[in-house]
Structure 1
Amino acid sequence: MLRVYFTSEDLARVRVAPGPDFLWEISNSVQTLQRRDGERAFGAWRRWVRPRLSASPRLLSSLLPPRGYSPDFLTPTSGDRATLQSAVDTLMSTPRPRLRADLTQLAASLQLPGWVSSLAGGDADTLRQLGEALRTYQLEALAPYWHRVHAHIDADRALRLRSLLDGGTEGLLAGLGPQFRWRPPVLEATYPVDQQLRLRGRGLVLQPSFFCWPTPITLADGDLPPVLVYPIHHTTGWAGPAPARPAEGAGPLGPLLGHTRAGVLRATRTGCSTVEAARLLDVTHPAVSQHLNVLRAAGLVATVRKAGRSFHVATAEGRALLATEEQARQ
């Protein structure tokens, strides 16, 4: 069980991360790739990725076992992480004492290959190899699906915003999912070990993660800037068919013409349920569902589900299309 202790100051400093974090998604997906559970959510992705990985990214599994402790330095909570390169640069600038402490803790539970000793000592060549492994893994395993990862996290953020508007920060914390229980002033979460995180006025970053599985994750060192990484809902079949962008003028975008479907897309700009879209457009629920199916197939809308209800939000591509429409009207 993980217990996160809040003060009144912490409740005022809770925020949801603005999007996927490159290094958290890499770390979580490397661990998920080694597991066998979660077949429904990740089975197709695993089968697609495993035969395509080159040798370089495979060294990451030595540092990221499928269960148990993983080094905090692999997912820094400070520094520039806006792009993959900036995140890798931040990781590679980790102070040697942190490298040594984290890898010593990892070695207490795992037999590590010899090169990890060089990494623990801050060897420049070994750090460069680690950086290259991270970049190659992102390119081979995640980049083909990154627009889907981003769309799902955008949808989850819209759902969290609604929870915040309806119930304040406590409503946001209470609605994080079945793994969580909000018992003021403590947030309890399903966790493989007993751990306590005392925020002490530092606030908390909630980081939605596509590949976090099956429980939330936090850093082992409670003195680091607090972050709580939580699993999000996955649309069935997100990993298939094999990811590929349609050719210009081809694919599922053609059926988007039509006033009602455009209206459904506009309704999802700030997020809406199926019922809300039907009421707004004065059309039937089945009709809205059919339009949403086409929009999802085109990558313009993502859907999350909570308590048996579907909540839809425009993806970055959908918002770009709406922005183009607005510019054409000006």
Structure 2
Amino acid sequence: MLRIHFTPEDLTRVRVAPGPDVLWEITNSVQTLQRTDGERVFGAWRRRVRPRLPESRRLLTPLLPPHGYSPDFLTPACGDRSTLRSAVDTLLGTPRRRLRTELARLAGSARLPPWVSSLADGDTDTLARLGEALHAYQAEALVPHWRHVRADLEADRALRTRHLMDGGTEALLTGLGPDVRWRPPVLEVTYPVDQHLRLGGRGLLLQPSFFCWPAPTTLADGDLPPVLVHPIHHTADWAAPPAAAGPATGRGPLGRLLGQTRADLLRATRGGCSTVEAARMLQVTHPAVSQHMNVLRAAGLTTTVRTGGRAFHLATAEGRALLAAEDHRTGRGQGAEPRP
């Protein structure tokens, strides 16, 4: 059990991460790739990714076993993490003393290959190889699915924000799923080992993670900036081949309720899409997409995130519930979202 101890000040300093943390997604996905559970969510992704992984993945799997301890330096809590390159640069700048300490702890629970000794010594060539392995893994395992990762995390952030607005910090904490229980002033999290994290006024960052499975996780070193990384909902067809990943069109219950174009647009936003992508998929004009999205947004079924001059649309929790009800009634996608 992980027990996170809050002070009154900490309750005012709970934050939701603004987006995916690429190094957490890499580390969690490497671990999830080695597991066999979560077949309904990750099975198709595992089967597609495993044959494509570069040989450099052999540098990552020993450092990130599917169960138990993994080093904190692989997910730095400080420094520039705005891009993968900057995040990897921060990781590679880990002080030698910390490398030795964390890798020695890992060696106490797992048999490590000889090259890890060079990594613990801060050898520049070994560190460079690790950096290259992170970039290569991300390109093969994550980039093809990054649109779904981003969309589902944005949907989760919208849901957390709604919990916070409707019920405050306690509603935000209690809404993190069945593995989390709020017993004031302690947040109890299902965890493989007993660990206490005393916030002491530092607050807590809630970091949603697409590949975190099956329960939340955190850093082992309680002196590092506190973070709780937690699983999220997954779009049912997120790992499907591109040709099969588009919106399900055709007449159905939602078409009769909303109108066919709006129903198709709502289906498109299940995995997230831009105005340009929606117009191309549905073969309608950009102004038509914007007009219909305005109606869906006003009804609370979609939300729109604007970044870099582009509008990115995704279904809200209410919109996803409506789509799930249609799936259930028509026999599509039953059991596709096993976790709350």
TM range (shorter): 0.7 to 0.9
Query: What TM-score do you get using the length of structure 1 for normalisation?
Result: 0.80
Q: What is the aligned partner in structure 1 of residue 140 from structure 2?
A: 140
Contact 2:155 2:317 in 1 (8 A): no
Which has the larger displacement, 178-187 or 114-123?
178-187
Q: Which residue of 1 aligns with 2:300?
A: 272
Q: Could you tell me whether the CA contact under 8 Å between 1:235 and 1:304 is conserved in 2? A: no
Query: Aligned-pair distance for 1:58?
Result: 2.8
1:115 is aligned to: 115
Q: Give the AA of the match of 1:143.
A: V
2:73 partner SS: helix
1:222 Cα deviation (Å)? Answer: 0.5
5+ residue gaps in structure 1?
Answer: 278-298, 313-330
**Residue by residue, what CA displacement relative to the aligned partner does 1:214-238 show, whole Å, maximum 9, x if unpaired?**
0101000111110000000101111
* SS state at 1:61 partner: coil
Separation in 1 of the partners of 2:215 and 2:12?
25
Look up the match of 1:38.
38
Sequence identity percentage: 64
Query: Kindly tell me: are residues 249 and 74 of structure 1, through their superposed partners in 2, closer, same or farther at Cα, counting changes over 3 Å?
Result: closer
Pair 1:268–1:59, CA change in 2 (3 A)? farther
175-184 or 116-125: bigger deviation: 175-184
Distance 2:141 2:93 in 1: 25
Matched residue type, 1:73: F
> Is residue 2:243 matched to residue 1:231?
no
Which residue identity is paired with 1:266? N
Superposition CA RMSD, Å: 2.9
Match of 1:84 in 2: 84
Contact preservation (8 Å) 1:19, 1:154: yes
Matched position secondary structure for 2:4: strand
The AA in structure 2 aligned to 1:173 is L
Asked whether 1:221 is paired with 2:249, we answer: no
Deviation at 1:198, TM superposition (A): 0.5
Structure-1 residue corresponding to 2:283 = 254
CA drift at 1:262: 4.2
Greater Cα shift, 86-95 or 179-188: 179-188
Q: Distance in 1 between matches of 2:79 and 2:244?
A: 33
Runs of 4+ in 1 over 3 A off after TM superposition: 242-251, 255-259, 261-264, 267-271, 299-306, 308-312
Shift of 1:135: 0.5
How many positions carry a matched residue from both structures? 287
- Asked whether the equivalents of residues 271 and 311 of structure 1 are also in contact (C-alpha less than 8 Å), the reply is no
Alignment of 1:1-330 (within 5 A): 1-242=1-242, 252-255=281-284, 262-263=290-291, 265-266=293-294, 272-273=300-301, 301-303=313-315, 309=321
- Return 5+ residue gaps in structure 2 as ranges: 247-275, 304-310, 325-340
Per-residue displacement from partner, 1:129-183 (whole Å, max 9, x unpaired)?
0000000001111011111100100000000010010011111111111111111
Q: Is the 8 A contact 1:303 1:310 kept in 2?
A: no
Q: Distance in 2 between matches of 1:257 and 1:148?
A: 22
Deviations 1:255-292 (A, max 9, x none): 57786x64552356699348xx9xxxxxxxxxxxxxxx
SS at match of 2:159: helix
Alpha-carbon separation, structure 2, partners of 1:140 and 1:18: 24
SS in 2 for 1:159: helix
In structure 1, what is the Cα distance between the partners aligned to 2:19 and 2:277?
A: 27
Distance 1:155 1:191 in 2: 25
The CA distance in 1 between the partners of 2:222 and 2:299, in whole Å, is 35
